Structure 1
Amino acid sequence: MIDACLIETDAYDRDARAKALTGPAVETLCEKGARVTPHFRALLEDLFAICFKLRVRVREGGPRSAALNRRILSAVLQADGIDELRASSALDPVRAASGAMGIARAALQELKKGEALTDEELLDQAALAHAEGKLGELDELARSLPDEPGADSMRRRIERERERQQEQVDDLASRVDRAMEDLPFLERRVTQATARAADALEEEEEAARAFTEKMGVSSSGSAAERLELAEKLRGNDKLRKLANLAGAFRRDALAARKKRVRRASSEVHKVGRGAELSRLLPAELSAFVDPRRKLDFLRRMAERDLAEYELVGADRGGRGPMVICVDASGSMNGPRELWAKAVSLALLEVARRQNRCVEAIVFAGREARLERFSLLDGKKNRGGRRVPQLPSLLDFATCFPGGGTDFEKPISAAVEVLESAKMKGGDIVFVTDGEAPIREGFAEDIKWLQKKHDFTIYGVLIDDPSVAAKRPAPGAVRPEIERAARELRKITDRITTVHRLTSGAVKDLFERI
């Protein structure tokens, strides 16, 4: 394989490069670049080396098909802003990778315009790279032949083929060299991208810091994770809006739960029958010390037929997993999707403080695949609390399949999560703005599983904010919402209908869960 890298690197540089230049964003950019020029990944790696290394040395030689890379690297090294860029990114793999991707992206955009090089000239580059690869294979084959008289015939055949291949390489290389003689548009674009790169690094780093802080996750991830975050935030207003909304909702959720600190988690509700000694009525306790009634007391205790206080409270005390099902059908697009995901992230912070696992399920129609994200798994920090996973959070935040609405499939998947958990007392939060039928047999199965595994299902129905704003009767709901609520009541323990997309609309949910 041809080594098209033109910047000298050592083992430390290559290790940092391998850790930073990975992930979906890098692979996507390299795939796009490979369709235009044959050595685009090598160009990206060289740009990383320029940004990362304290001392840059361009190696002599290299494949002739890398002539375009050499011109781009030369323009970068002569750009006015290169010293500032290198000063801010040296020995920082994330900054170096981000700066390299910015310059490589600008070069690729200019090449795609067709003004710097024509399609025919770009094809000549690809053909030259292929021919050089064939030449290398022939050299490797010649070296592998045994030093025996019987191999002389094969060696001569290889030499003849090599001469023919070398002529093709020379012809293509001369055409490529002529195309490289004058590239003013490309060099100007690369120079401008280099000059802007240092300021862009500061802006991206500040945006990433604000995002992780508002989302409640650590900013000290791997180099690849931090680079992926910077790339996803680049020009993505949706993620920035979600981060702002989630930060506010997290504060409101935690404030709503603070009111439970100074009161008991349960209170006397009524008198019932049982055998819990701490809740027995005084009249029953007196029977235990009366010799004439003691035997009857013990019999009724064995039968759990003693009069006792029954307690009820908002805090169920369960610490089983939390599964959040978010509707991503077409009607949820826009403010409702952002609100639903902001509520989900606020619940994630509540669950983190309760040290519970959290899984999010994004659903749409019956034919659409369920998208599942483990937001809080078994990984814990030094304090023993579970740590939100940034890659999963980003995937969850950007996932929106669209389509119709189906209730049964996501509910079944959520129940499977709770069934597989070792702890009881889990919660399912089901957020939707649509309607879908729930079969009676399915509802009966879910209710039976609820009793068996002791979990609660909370439904959150989002009414259309635009319709709600014009509705004359306070508290009135649309017929579609009424039908959806009627279906969800078959399986849920509590339903909250939301008419205003604020955190206060689900304050009761934040308190109870």
Structure 2
Amino acid sequence: MPKRVPAKKKSRFILPPPAPIPERTCWIESDAYDRAAYAKLREDSPSLREIEESGGALVPRFDSLLLDLFCAVFKHNVVFFPEEMVLPSAALNRVLLAGLHQGDLAQLLREATVLDEGKAGLATVLLGEGALSLLKAEKPLTRRDLLDLWNLQKQEETVQEKISEANNAKDIAKELADQGDSSRSDLSKETKALLEQAANKLASEARAEETRLRQQAKQLRDDLARVQQEAETRFRGEALKVARNLDEAAQEAESWSRALGGGDSKSAPGRQIELGKHLAGNEKLKKLAQMVGRMKDHALALRRKIFERTNEEMFEVGMGSEVSRLLPHELLTLNHPVLRKDFARRFVDNELLLYSLRGIEEKGKGPVVVCLDGSSSMMGDKEIWAKALTLTLLEIARRQRRMFRVLCFSSAETPLQTFDLNPRERYGVDMGTVMKLAEYFPGGGTDFEMPLNAALDCLRQARFKRGDIVFITDGECQVSPEWANNFRADKEAMGFSLFSILIDVGSNSLGPLKEFSDKITTVSRLTSDGVKDLFVKL
């Protein structure tokens, strides 16, 4: 008798959940290097983080837009993902990117930015600011359109959550069905049926939410299609401004960084972004940068010319690599075939024996405190000239390894602003603080006593002892006789010098400055010739 084959168990139907929705929020392909380069720029650039935070409060996926903008100007080959591979809530980003890539504009931008992290980062910041300004102005998108984007992102999150729940329920129900009734006697058929019903319900809910998402995405595409041309045109206009200013701003940022002792011949990309952002389209800062360059070159050339003629004395033997001060027996090793190699090694390691010279330039000097007038009468060319002089003195102080502090003052009612410009190791210049000083202008009246009292308090600190004060003003302010007597007594006791620079555009009186100054220089023409004595004596 043939063996009876058991009947195949009838399987219950479990409704499959919808397919997962895309996870990408960026439209442009990027590799690990691109993302790492952008992450480093974001870490080093407060401006980039600030734009990302501001944009992220207005529309979803703004952080992805910034990464797309960076890749669009940085990558050698730009490849876009198809629409079905990107979340619908990033559709606005695609419209803006299309405006950037129309015509020759992208090529014009990319000529300066491809594979250059600093310039690409600066372009990203400027383009991000342009996009942010359009969103804040609600052009061309209205507040309702922006709200629709947020609702769409929320719907995407709901769909992803529902699909995940439905898949988990489906896996559990299928596992129980495959095990059969005998292996899980603790679960009745009714319980298994309830689990399958729950899985089917979750799958149905996921499908319903996914359908709702498709409807919202279609509505958004229709809305964007109506404003697409206007949005692309407006953003293309912002990008055109960036293209016009980018190269000049990047070059000025690099030259300013070098002029103020920013470090290597090529500054860090993060610093380049911050400097370039401030300089782009800012005529005042551009003019200041140009004046600093001219004044610094004049000051350093003057100091070299004078100190080369200064009598110096040899006072000890040290180590270094300056050939002009080598001991005679070190020069003899250059003619020896074996010792010549050792000479080369010690030259690289700064271990050659040489005379140490003592002269005016190598004499120990203390910090420099500059009191800078920020009253309303300084507005315009006088403000720019005074700040250029201040930054030139900063470069001299940096080379002499002297601390440098600026006290910006105006009326007695306006609080003093303190700027420590070289607080870093080896007296490196803090470019962020330099930018704050360059842009700060309080306006108002003039008060001499408050900044000079603050300068005295500064020189009483241990790290500012043996310093000097430079007082730059264009105004006249009476000081009380009692204050003047006390200030002169403190100056004599502490042993510092006070150099005053009076910008004499009108008929100002020297009387108040004579009350407390060691030397007063009157400047009638805003050039560096009038203050050349200060460049030498400071």
Same-fold call, TM > 0.5?
yes
Identify which of 269, 281, 286 aligns with 1:235: 281
Distance 2:307 2:423 in 1: 27
Distance 1:406 1:33 in 2: 42
Tell me the CA shift for residue 68 of structure 1: 0.8
Distance 1:431 1:88, change over 3 A: closer
Tell me the CA shift for residue 341 of structure 1: 0.8
Distance 1:405 1:38, change over 3 A: farther
Could you tell me whether the CA contact under 8 Å between 1:142 and 1:155 is conserved in 2? Answer: yes
Tell me the CA shift for residue 31 of structure 1: 5.1
SS of the equivalent of 1:359 reads strand
Q: Give the aligned partner of residue 498 of structure 1.
A: 523
TM norm structure 1: 0.72
Distance 1:422 1:44, change over 3 A: closer
Q: Give the aligned partner of residue 92 of structure 1.
A: 116
Identify which of 412, 424, 429 aligns with 1:388: 429
Q: How does 1:22-41 map to 2 (within 5 A)?
A: 23-30=45-52, 33-34=55-56, 36-41=58-63
Q: Letter of the aligned partner of 2:411 in structure 1? A: G
Distance 2:362 2:518 in 1: 13
Could you tell me whether the CA contact under 8 Å between 1:319 and 1:424 is conserved in 2? Answer: no
Q: How does 1:85-124 map to 2 (within 5 A)?
A: 85-86=109-110, 88-109=112-133, 116-124=140-148
- Determine if the alignment matches structure 1 residue 355 to structure 2 residue 396: no
Q: Give the aligned partner of residue 405 of structure 1.
A: 446
Q: Give the aligned partner of residue 32 of structure 2.
A: 11
- Determine if the alignment matches structure 1 residue 186 to structure 2 residue 231: yes
Identify which of 490, 496, 507 aligns with 1:455: 496
Distance 1:371 1:220, change over 3 A: farther
Q: How far does the alpha carbon of each residue in 1:104-129 deviate from its partner, in whole angstroms, 9 at most, with x for none?
A: 44445555665633342233223333
Q: Letter of the aligned partner of 2:418 in structure 1? A: R
Q: How far does the alpha carbon of each residue in 1:299-355 deviate from its partner, in whole angstroms, 9 at most, with x for none?
A: xxxxxxxxxxxxxx9999551001111111222111111111111122223223322
Q: Give the aligned partner of residue 175 of structure 1.
A: 219
Q: Give the aligned partner of residue 69 of structure 2.
A: 47
Q: How far does the alpha carbon of each residue in 1:17-60 deviate from its partner, in whole angstroms, 9 at most, with x for none?
A: 12223534334544554465333232111111222234444445
Distance 1:14 1:490, change over 3 A: same
TM norm structure 2: 0.69
C-alpha RMSD of the superposition: 4.2
Distance 1:194 1:434 in 2: 44
User: Which ranges in structure 2 are unaligned for 5 or more consecutive residues?
Assistant: 1-22, 173-186, 188-194, 313-358
Q: How does 1:125-274 map to 2 (within 5 A)?
A: 125-133=149-157, 169=213, 172-182=216-226, 183-190=228-235, 200-212=245-257, 217-218=262-263, 220-257=266-303, 258-259=305-306, 261-263=308-310
Q: Letter of the aligned partner of 1:15 in structure 2? A: A
Identify which of 503, 507, 510 aligns with 2:532: 507
The higher radius of gyration belongs to 2
Identity %: 35
Distance 1:144 1:451 in 2: 84
Q: How far does the alpha carbon of each residue in 1:394-422 deviate from its partner, in whole angstroms, 9 at most, with x for none?
A: 22212212233333332233233333244
Distance 1:373 1:114 in 2: 38
Distance 2:485 2:157 in 1: 66
Could you tell me whether the CA contact under 8 Å between 1:107 and 1:186 is conserved in 2? Answer: no
Q: How far does the alpha carbon of each residue in 1:447-480 deviate from its partner, in whole angstroms, 9 at most, with x for none?
A: 45434442212222323x2xx3xxxxxxxx44xx
Could you tell me whether the CA contact under 8 Å between 2:245 and 2:280 is conserved in 1? Answer: no
User: Which ranges in structure 1 are unaligned for 5 or more consecutive residues?
Assistant: 266-312, 381-385, 469-476
Q: Give the aligned partner of residue 377 of structure 2.
A: 331
SS of the equivalent of 1:259 reads helix
Tell me the CA shift for residue 82 of structure 1: 3.4
